[in-house]
Structure 1
Amino acid sequence: MSKKKSAPQERQEMTGLERLSLRVSSMINHPLAQTQRWVNIHRLDTDGEAEWEEVMGLLVETPELDLTFNDDESVTVRWEPVPIEDLPIEAEHEPEEEPAPF
């Protein structure tokens, strides 16, 4: 009996933009940040200029966020709690039936 070995899967490396976006998102979503409704984001040496500008641009365009660009090149992001009545209501829908495989 011979066993077939499958080729090892190549790991996809995250881009600088994906890495920075994930870091900023996790900082904003951290329970402490959610409680205090602000977070201070520092630019790391590994954050490229274009990536930093793109992520900060997206944050600036988000109307619920207030950004303060600090002298030490960090950015303080603040937000107000969203009243429950202003939260979007997710429409409930029945799952689509999949066609029979035959």
Structure 2
Amino acid sequence: MAKQKKSTPQARQEMTALERLGLRVSSMINHPIAQSQRWVTIHRMDTDGDMEWEEVMGLLSETPELDLTFNDDESVTVRWEQQNAEDRDDLIVEKGWEVEVPF
């Protein structure tokens, strides 16, 4: 019988502040309610650093499909239009494929 090696616990890798903010913003934009209304307001939290906030807002403002409104209370409202799958260049849609349902 072969002996199994004990696995050494790997160090838990913490998320950076930029990753945490990016994940929060992405989650808010991808939320089903935000997707149905096609807008979301992102509030800056006390834990969001200046550098991280500027980086994420810069990335959002560089995205041509998004319209950003910087509000007086330091929040940002992100709006977007509904797009057809054919208009997107990051999504491949193959036409002509039909699947026969077995029931």
The residue correspondences of 1:1-102 to structure 2 (distance < 5 A) are: 4-88=5-89, 89-90=91-92
Deviation at 1:91, TM superposition (A): 7.9
Measured in 2, the distance between the counterparts of 1:46 and 1:71 equals 19
Structure 1 residues 91 and 38: CA distance shift in structure 2, 3 A:
closer
Deviation at 1:85, TM superposition (A): 2.2
Gaps of 5+ in 2: 95-103
CA deviations on 1:25-66 (whole Å, 9 max, x unpaired) are: 000000000000000000111111100000000001100000
Secondary structure of 1:76 counterpart: strand
Residue identity matched to 1:66 = D
Residue identity matched to 1:90 = I
Gaps of 5+ in 1: 93-102
Measured in 1, the distance between the counterparts of 2:92 and 2:11 equals 37
Measured in 2, the distance between the counterparts of 1:55 and 1:29 equals 15
Measured in 1, the distance between the counterparts of 2:81 and 2:4 equals 59
Secondary structure of 1:32 counterpart: helix
Calculate the aligned-residue CA RMSD, in Å: 1.9
TM-score by length of 2: 0.81
How many correspondences in the alignment?
92
Deviation at 1:7, TM superposition (A): 1.3
TM-score by length of 1: 0.81
Q: For the Cα contact (< 8 Å) 2:86–2:93, is it kept in 1?
A: no
Deviation at 1:84, TM superposition (A): 2.8
Residue identity matched to 1:31 = P
